[in-house]
C-alpha cells in the first residue's frame, strides 16, 4: 500500500532569508496539538520512570548507586540518542514538516545525527555559550539543529538565547569552564568573550520549532520558575552528503531524506 500523498510544508523566501542572515528561524505551530500531547505525555512518563527501559539494548539501568551528578542528570533529565531505542523518538526526529523545513535550509538530502530530550524542571541549569559545530563536525559544514518546544518557554523558565548573525562566525576554539554554575552546567564549556549585549532571547510556544545553524552561538540559562517545566526535543541534522567522523562516522547516522553517496544507517522503526 502506498502512503497517502502529503503537501510539503514550505517556508517563505523571507523566512529563508532570515535564517541566512541571523542563523535561526522559529517556525510557529509546526507540531499539531495531537503530536504535542503525545510528546508531552511520553516525556512525563520518562521522567516518572513509567517507561520500561530495562529491555533496551545499550540503555543502562536507571538506578545505579554512587553515580556522579552528571551521570544522574543524563539519566533523568536528558535522554540522548533514544531514537535508537524508542519508536517515538525516531518518529519525532523524522517528523515530516520538520524535515520539509530542513530540506529548504540545508537539503535536499538530509541525515539525522543526534536526538536529545531535555526535561529541564524548575531549578535545572542550562548550557553556556557554545556552537554545536564545535562538537559535531561535518564537511561541508551543514549542521543544523531543530528545537521542538514541548512547553511554552521564556526567559523565566530558561528558553534559548542566540547571538544573531554568529552563524557567519568561525568555530571558536577559545573555550573555558563557565563560572556561573547556577545557570550553567559546569562540565560543559563556554566560548570566551561573547558580547552579551548582542544576545536575543528566543521565547517559544509549545509546538513551535526553532531551527538554528551549527555555528550560531547560543545558550540557555537556569529554569528559574518554581512550577514550570521547560521540555524540548532537540535533534541535529546535516546535509546527507556531508562527511562526518562524529559518533562513529556516517555509517551510524540516519538517512532522513533523499539519497547520498556516503554510507549511512537506516531507520529502525519508521519507514522513510
Ligand atoms: O535546550 C537547551 O537548553 C540547550 C540546547 C542546546 O544548547 C543545544 O541543543 O545545542
CA of 66 to the centre of ligand 1 (A): 27
pLDDT of residue 210: 99
pLDDT of residue 174: 93
DSSP of 20-80: HHHSEEEETT-S-HHHHHHHHHHHHHHHTT-S--TTSTTPPPS--TT--HHHHHHHHTEEE
Range list of β-strands (E), 82-204:
110-118, 127-130, 138-139, 144-149, 160-162, 175-176, 190-191, 200-202
pLDDT of residue 113: 98
pLDDT of residue 67: 58
Low-confidence ranges of the chain (pLDDT < 50): none
Torsional sign, CA 240, 19, 161, 28 = negative
pLDDT of residue 152: 98
Q: What residues does ligand 1 touch, defined as CB less than 6 Å away?
A: 118, 126-127, 132, 145, 160, 218, 220, 232, 234
- Residue-wise pLDDT for 122-153, tens only, equals 999 999 999 999 999 999 999 999 999 999 99
* Per-residue burial over 51-81, b = 16 or more CB atoms within 10 Å of its CB, e = otherwise: bebeeeeebeeeeeeeeeeeeeeebebbbee
pLDDT of residue 75: 60
pLDDT of residue 78: 82
Residue extents of the structural domains in the chain: 19-49+69-257
pLDDT of residue 52: 80
Give me the CATH topology for the region 19-49+69-257: Jelly Rolls (2.60.120)
pLDDT of residue 5: 83
CA of 6 to the centre of ligand 1 (A): 31
Please choose from 23, 77, 114, 116 the residue to mutate so as to test ligand 1's pocket, defined by most ligand atoms within 8 A of CB: 116
pLDDT of residue 50: 81
Gap between the Cα atoms of 199 and 102, Å rounded: 24
Gap between the Cα atoms of 94 and 98, Å rounded: 7
Instruction: Tell which residue, 178, 226, 11, has the closest CA to residue 97.
Output: 11
Amino acid at each position: 500500500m502506498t502512503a497517502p500523498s502529503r503537501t510539503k510544508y514550505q517556508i517563505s523566501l523571507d523566512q529563508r532569508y532570515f535564517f541566512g542572515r541571523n542563523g535561526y528561524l522559529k517556525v510557529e505551530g509546526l507540531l499539531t496539538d495531537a503530536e504535542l500531547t503525545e510528546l508531552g505525555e511520553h516525556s512525563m512518563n520518562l521522567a516518572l520512570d513509567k517507561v520500561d527501559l530495562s529491555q533496551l539494548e545499550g540503555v543502562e539501568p536507571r538506578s545505579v548507586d554512587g553515580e556522579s551528578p552528571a551521570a544522574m542528570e543524563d539519566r533523568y533529565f536528558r535522554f540522548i540518542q533514544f531514537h535508537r531505542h524508542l519508536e517515538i523518538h525516531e518518529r519525532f526526529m523524522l517528523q515530516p514538516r520538520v524535515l520539509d523545513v530542513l530540506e529548504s535550509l540545508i537539503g535536499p538530502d538530509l541525515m539525522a545525527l543526534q536526538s536529545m530530550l531535555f526535561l529541564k524542571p524548575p531549578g535545572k541549569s542550562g548550557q553556556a555559550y557554545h556552537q554545536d559545530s564545535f562538537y559535531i563536525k561535518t564537511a561541508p559544514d551543514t549542521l543544523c539543529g531543530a528545537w521542538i518546544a514541548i512547553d511554552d518557554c521564556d526567559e523565566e523558565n530558561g528558553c534559548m538565547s542566540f547571538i544573531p548573525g554568529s552563524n557567519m562566525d568561525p568555530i571558536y576554539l577559545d573555550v573555558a569552564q563557565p563560572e556561573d554554575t547556577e545557570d550553567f552546567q559546569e562540565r560543559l564549556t563556554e566560548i570566551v568573550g561573547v558580547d552579551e549585549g548582542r544576545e536575543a532571547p528566543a521565547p517559544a510556544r509549545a509546538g513551535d520549532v526553532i531551527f538554528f545553524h551549527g555555528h550560531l552561538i547560543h545558550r540557555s540559562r537556569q529554569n528559574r520558575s518554581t512550577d514550570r517545566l521547560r521540555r524540548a526535543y532537540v535533534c541535529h541534522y546535516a546535509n546527507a552528503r556531508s562527511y562526518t567522523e562524529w559518533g562513529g562516522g556516517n555509517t551510524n547516522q540516519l538517512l532522513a531524506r533523499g539519497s547520498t553517496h556516503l554510507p549511512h544507517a537506516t531507520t529502525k522503526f519508521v519507514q522513510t
